[in-house]
Structure 1
Amino acid sequence: MADELLIDRQPLAGGWLETWTLNAPASRNALTDTLVDALLAACERAGRDSALRGVVLRGAGGRFCAGGSLGGFARAIGQPLDAGQPDPLVPMNRRFGMLLQTLCALPQWLVAVVEGAAMGGGIGLLCCADHVLASEDAHFATPEVTLGIVPGQIAPFVVWRLGPARARRWLLTGERLGAGAALQDGLVDEVAPPGGLQAALARTIVRHGAAAPRAVAATKRLLLADAEIPLSRLLDMAAHAFAGSLRGPEAAQGLAAFAARRAAPWQAQA
C-alpha cells in the first residue's frame, strides 16, 4: 500500500517548505486511523524542526478530503453499549481532535489548498490553516448531521473559524456550498481562477515567506492562547514575546534590512 501521507521538502529562503499530501485517492483522501497517525507524526516532527518555514497541506487526485473514515467504527454502528462499559469509540474520535489541536499549534505557517471536495473532517483540517486557498470548482460541506452523526471534534474549530452564527448553518444543515460561499463565510481566504491555482499558491508562499520564522511561531502561540487565557495574563505573555523578539536576532536583521531597503534573509522572492 502506498503511503497515505506524502511529504515533499523543498528549500525556501534560508530554510525549508514542506508539502503534505493526503494520498488515498481511492477513498477521496478519507481520514483513516493510519492517515491521522501519519499527520500527527508529521506535526510532532515539524514542531521540533526550527529550519522548517511553512507547510502546504493538500490532497491527491484532484480532491482535498472526504472527511473521517468510518472503517474503525463500522462494527459499533447502531449497537448500544453495555451499561457501565467505557466506550472505545471515545478515544478513537478524540485522537482526531488531538490532530486538529496539534495542527493549530504548528509553529510554522500552514496553507491549505483545496481542489474538489472538502467534507466533514476535512473542514476541520481547513479550520486549522493560516490561509485556505481553493480552486474555483471546490465544494465544501459538514454532512454529519444528515447521516445521524454528531460532528463532535470539528465543531469547536468550525466555531473558532466562522463564528457561532455561520457555524450553526454549516454544522446543523449539512448543506453543500461552493468556493464562493465558503469565501464569503470565511472558511476560504482566496479562490483561484481556473488554471491559476499553482500561481496563486506560489504568491501565497512568497507572501507568508516575508515573515520571520521565530516571530511567526511566537505570534501563533499568542493567537492560540487567546481562546484559553484571561486577557491580563495573555497581555503579560504578549509583552514578554515582544521583548524577546526585539532582543533577538530577527529584529536586528529585519530592521537593518528595512533601513537599507533590502530583503531580510528569510524573505522568499517571487
Structure 2
Amino acid sequence: MHDTLLIDRAPLGADLFCETWTLNDPASRNALTDAMVDALLGACTRAQSDGALRGVVLRGAGGHFCAGGSLGGFAKAIGQPLDAGVPDPLVPLNRRFGALLQALCGLPQWLVVAAEGAAMGGGLGLACCGDLVLADADAQFGAPEVTLGLVPAQIAPFVVRRLGPAAARRWLLSGARWDSVAAQQAGLVDEVVVDGAMDEAVQATIQRLAATAPQAIAATKHLLLQVQSALPLPALLDDAAHLFARALRGPEAPQGLAAFTARKAPPWSAVA
C-alpha cells in the first residue's frame, strides 16, 4: 500500500530544512481518508519540536490538491438514524479533521499551500490554513457540502477566518466553484501561478521566506492567531507587548539588527 502522505526534507542551508508534505492518493484526487488525516496530524506534532525545520509546503500528487473528505468511513451511517442515548461515533471522526486544521494553523513554521486542480470541501479547509497560498491558474475551489445534503462543519471557522464572514457565507451557502482569480479576489489565494510553473513559484516563495528569523516567525504566528480569537483587545495588546519584549531580549534581535547595520545577511538566513 502506498504512503498516503509523502514527506520530502530538503536542505535550505547549514542544518536548516524545508519539508514538502504531499497528499498522495491521486486516484481519489487526494481525498482525505482517516489514514491521511492521521499522517498529517503526526507530521504536525513532529514539526512542533523540530528546531531545524524552517517551513512546510503542502501540496497534492497527480495534478490535484485535495478533492475533500472521503466518505468511505461514513458509508454505513448515511441515512441511518442513531439509537437514542448512544454516542455518535461520527462526531469524533469529524472533529479529528478540525484538530488537523487547528494544528496546521498552529505550526511555528511558515506554511505554504500549493494548490493545483481540485481544492474542494476539506481541501478548501486545508488551503485556508496556509500562511501563503499559491494556486495554479486552473485550480478550482469550493465547499460543495450543502449541495450534497451535508454541512461544512469543521472547515467553516477556518473559511470565515480566511475570507471574512460575508465572503464565507457566499462560499459555504452556495456550494459554488470558484476559479483561482475569484479565490484571489476573495482573499484565499495570494498568488495565481500561470503556465504550469508551480514548482518554480514554490521555490521562489521558499527563497523569500528563507530570510526570516524562525523564532520571530513563530511568535508572529502566535500573535496572529490571538488576533483571530475572542481575546479582549487590552489582553491581546498585553500579550503582544510580552512577545515584543522577549524577542528584543532574545538571541535573534541583536543578530538581526547587527546584520542590518553591517548590510549582511543575518545568521538564520538561507538566502545567499
State TM-score, norm by structure 1: 0.98
Deviations 1:140-180 (A, max 9, x none): 11100000000000001000000011001110111111111
CA contact (8 A) 1:209 1:268 kept: yes
Deviations 1:114-156 (A, max 9, x none): 1111010000001111000011111111100000000000001
Partner of 1:247: 249
- Per the TM alignment, residue 209 of structure 1 is displaced from its structure 2 partner at its CA by 1.4
Partner of 1:155: 156
Q: CA RMSD in A?
A: 1.0
Partner of 1:141: 142
- Per the TM alignment, residue 72 of structure 1 is displaced from its structure 2 partner at its CA by 0.8
Partner of 2:107: 106
Identity %: 70
After superposition, where does 1:180-259 map in structure 2 within 5 Å? 180-226=181-227, 227-259=229-261
In 1, the alpha carbon distance for the partners of 2:115 and 2:129 equals: 13
- Per the TM alignment, residue 193 of structure 1 is displaced from its structure 2 partner at its CA by 1.5
SS at match of 1:86: coil
SS at match of 1:243: helix
In 1, the alpha carbon distance for the partners of 2:212 and 2:12 equals: 12
Identify which range, 12-21 or 55-64, moves more after superposition. 12-21
Give the letter aligned to residue 252 of structure 2: E
In 2, the alpha carbon distance for the partners of 1:140 and 1:17 equals: 26
Partner of 1:83: 84
CA contact (8 A) 1:13 1:265 kept: no
CA contact (8 A) 1:8 1:19 kept: yes
- Per the TM alignment, residue 112 of structure 1 is displaced from its structure 2 partner at its CA by 0.3
- Per the TM alignment, residue 268 of structure 1 is displaced from its structure 2 partner at its CA by 2.9
Q: Is 1:13 paired with 2:44? A: no
Partner of 2:269: 267
Deviations 1:213-250 (A, max 9, x none): 00000111111122132221111111111111111111
SS at match of 1:11: strand
In 2, the alpha carbon distance for the partners of 1:30 and 1:242 equals: 41
In 2, the alpha carbon distance for the partners of 1:147 and 1:104 equals: 27
In 2, the alpha carbon distance for the partners of 1:266 and 1:164 equals: 38
Q: Is 1:54 paired with 2:46? A: no
In 2, the alpha carbon distance for the partners of 1:268 and 1:129 equals: 21
Partner of 2:119: 118
SS at match of 1:191: strand
SS at match of 1:239: helix
Partner of 1:42: 43
Long gaps (5+) in structure 1: none
- Per the TM alignment, residue 207 of structure 1 is displaced from its structure 2 partner at its CA by 1.5
Equivalent residues, number? 270
- Per the TM alignment, residue 86 of structure 1 is displaced from its structure 2 partner at its CA by 1.2
Give the letter aligned to residue 11 of structure 2: P
- Per the TM alignment, residue 262 of structure 1 is displaced from its structure 2 partner at its CA by 1.1
CA contact (8 A) 1:120 1:144 kept: yes
Identify which range, 112-121 or 219-228, moves more after superposition. 219-228
State TM-score, norm by structure 2: 0.97
SS at match of 1:122: helix
In 2, the alpha carbon distance for the partners of 1:201 and 1:26 equals: 24
- Per the TM alignment, residue 211 of structure 1 is displaced from its structure 2 partner at its CA by 1.1
- Per the TM alignment, residue 196 of structure 1 is displaced from its structure 2 partner at its CA by 2.2
Long gaps (5+) in structure 2: none
In 2, the alpha carbon distance for the partners of 1:267 and 1:134 equals: 26
In 2, the alpha carbon distance for the partners of 1:101 and 1:25 equals: 25
